[in-house]
Amino acid sequence: MHYITEVEYESGYCLRLRFEDGSFRGADLADHLDGDVFEPLRDVNLFRTARLNTDIDTVVWDNGADMSPDFLYEIGKPLDDATVLKVAEERAPYGGGRDSAGQTPTGPEEQ
């Protein structure tokens, strides 16, 4: 059984998901937005409200919809390391010199 640890809206009906095993997958949900609960998500503004609910470890939306993490893992396409790094670099704020926790290291002169 899988669970999601990170959700990021990409574009259209696509999400970038990180799973408990550390893998990143891109899920295009355009063909999966049917029925009373999911059809409203065809409104991209509503779809963009996708976020992680840590109580159930999956994606939820403002209209109360959620999807099975196992289903999302199954339909998601694995993202290679180059793709994940490119996305991270594009979203990183300018400033460089930050450590893995996002902190700017302090040198001896600043201590």
Q: Tens digits of per-residue pLDDT, 78-90?
A: 998 656 655 555 6
Q: Tens digits of per-residue pLDDT, 38-68?
A: 999 999 999 999 999 999 999 999 999 999 9
- Closest to 26 (Cα-Cα) out of 68, 65, 62, 80: 80
Average pLDDT, the chain: 85
Using DSSP's 3-state secondary structure scheme, residue 81 falls into helix
Q: Is the pTM of this model over 0.85?
A: no
Tokens linked to 60? 């939820």
**Topology adopted by domain 4-82:** NE0471 N-terminal domain-like (3.30.2020)
